[in-house]
Amino acid sequence: MAVGYVAGINRYRPPAPTSTVPLTSTEPPYHKTGLANLEAAWADFVDIVGEENVSTKEGDLQYHSGSEWSSYTTKPNEKPFLVVFPSTTEEVSQIAKVCHDRRIPITAYSGGTSLEGHFSATRGGICMDFRRMDKILKLHKDDLDVIVQPALGWEYLNEELAKDGLFFPPDPGPGAQIGGMVGTGCSGTNAYRYGTIREWVISLTVVLADGTVIRTRQRPRKSSAGYDLTRTFIGSEGTLGLVTEATLKVTVKPKSESVAVASFPTVRDAAECVAKVVGEGIPIAAIEVLDDVQMKCINDAGSTSREWKEMPTLFFKFTGTPSGVKEQIAQVQRLAKAKGSKTFDFAKNTEEAQELWSARKEALWSVMAKRRDESDHVWTTDVAVPISRLPDIIEETKEDMAKSGLLAAMVGHVGDGNFHAIILFNDSERFTAEAVVHRMVKRAVEMEGTVTGEHGVGLIKRDYLAHELGQTTVDAMRKLKEAFDPLCILNCDKVVRAEIPKAKEVKAW
């Protein structure tokens, strides 16, 4: 007893009386991931959710460790000991209490579509999969809000909302679910008109690291009551708490919608057209760019019903009244022509609009279809810059990717200065791919942009944060992490480092 007491006292560190936590003042997280402790936790979880909802199958463990579309390559030891499937906030709370008491790391999982290593189990422990929490709990049509669980897909949500003439604007990649969308602070093609998910979350129910359950707000559209904890958790990537419910704003579905597609001689011409459209304040719903490489990949994949010009192409989405949509199309067509567009096609009905927009949603999958063999990987990353610098960064990045010799496509939500690179590479080409991404990120920061517009930080982008925001800002984030999760059991190592990196682990700026 005395030995255990002394060991506990020696491990205790009183909170530092500083406003930030520099990495040099931290100690490595202390977790208990020995087999005996994990097996005892398994029994606890069985009592909470039932044995059928706790899995130690190797296939499940591998599936919850990473994905073929993630830019992070999961190490062999980075997998959970088990996966647990809760169905209620109370079960999540009980599981968190067990993990807190036993000092077992938790990695949250919903749709698994994230791209920057967000759910890699760097410290082992357990994975909490929310798939059983996938319901629409309550729609308040008169208030234009809906309460949902974290494993609800945004596509299914919109199918249900459409029955009442409503929709939820954030539209990231196919398969994304509300919990992960909140965690990464996602947006999508509609962000130019409607903003990111931050503008569409009213309130969250969150389970904290020790099992405490909090609700960040009630349901009014505005509130000045206390700290804005809702937005503190949005974009926190499961490092501060586990979201079990979200109250979301919804809006009325537009009366009319159409799509237009314009091709250009160069990607800079396309980017300059975007800047002109934005500068003239035309209220369109979305502006997307796909470069010539991306358009060729879509043609080669044969995943859409038409053959596309293999040139840099802008995709425009228009919403509003029928007369307003017609006016927007005419304005954009005039500006595109002035910037050298070679073609301008617009949809004449709903079916044509869906056909034209389908190419944009096939971007990632069409590049992945170009893999030469099973050893090929795909690196998908994003940055964002002020709109005036968009033509510069797109042109420079395009030239850099072409010089690399890699199959590298460009696609993005350029109406708000955000674009993506999708790069195909094998193990021998990894260094080249890393260098291309590094220069792209550095370019964005030097243009007063951000290292990620919507994918989130995860493991890949964490060491770039200090260059974008300053080291003291990152240290303040680490203080926040320490306050909410003092044992560092929630998605450890993501967003901010938990311990000093090894030599040569961080790429030189």
Paired tokens of 71: 């830019």
- By the 8 A CB rule, do 180 and 164 touch? no
| Gyration radius of the chain's alpha carbons | 23
Query: In the block, which residue shows the tokens 């009244």?
Result: 321
Q: Which contiguous run of DSSP H or E holds residue 412?
A: strand 407-413
User: What pLDDT is stored for residue 356 in this prediction?
Assistant: 80
Which segments of 262-385 does DSSP mark as H helices, in order? 267-279, 292-301, 322-338, 350-361, 363-368
Confidence (pLDDT) at 464: 97
- Name the phi and psi angles at 355, rounded to 5: -65, -45
Tokens of 88: 């209620």
Nearest to 88 by CA among 178, 213, 180, 247: 213
> Which residue has tokens 């936790």?
41
pLDDT of residue 73: 85
Q: What's the pLDDT score for residue 409?
A: 96
* pLDDT the model gives residue 12: 55
- The answer to whether residues 128 and 86 touch, using CB atoms and an 8 Å cutoff, is yes
Rounded Cα distance, 309 and 295, in Å: 7
- Per-residue pLDDT of the chain (509 residues), as tens digits, is 455 544 454 555 666 789 999 999 999 999 999 999 999 999 999 999 999 999 999 999 999 998 888 888 888 899 999 999 999 999 999 999 999 999 999 999 999 999 898 999 999 999 999 999 999 999 999 999 999 999 999 999 999 999 999 999 999 988 999 999 999 999 998 999 999 999 999 999 999 999 999 999 999 999 999 999 999 999 999 999 999 999 999 999 998 889 999 999 999 999 999 999 999 999 999 999 999 999 999 999 988 888 899 999 999 999 999 999 999 999 999 999 999 999 999 888 888 888 888 888 788 889 999 999 988 999 999 999 999 999 999 999 999 999 999 999 999 888 899 999 999 999 999 999 999 999 999 999 999 999 999 999 999 999 999 999 999 999 999 999 999 999 999 999 999 999 999 988 898 89
pLDDT for position 11: 58
CB atoms within 10 A of CB 166: 18
For residue 394 the two structure tokens come to: 């797109």
| Residue-level pLDDT at 124 | 96
Q: Phi, psi at residue 344, to the nearest 5°?
A: -150, 105
pTM, 2 dp:
0.92
Give the chain's length: 509
pLDDT score, position 68: 81
Paired tokens of 101: 């008491």
Cα dist from 305 to 161, 258, 286, 410, whole Å:
28, 18, 22, 22
Residue 436: left (phi > 0), alpha (psi -120 to 50), or beta?
A: alpha
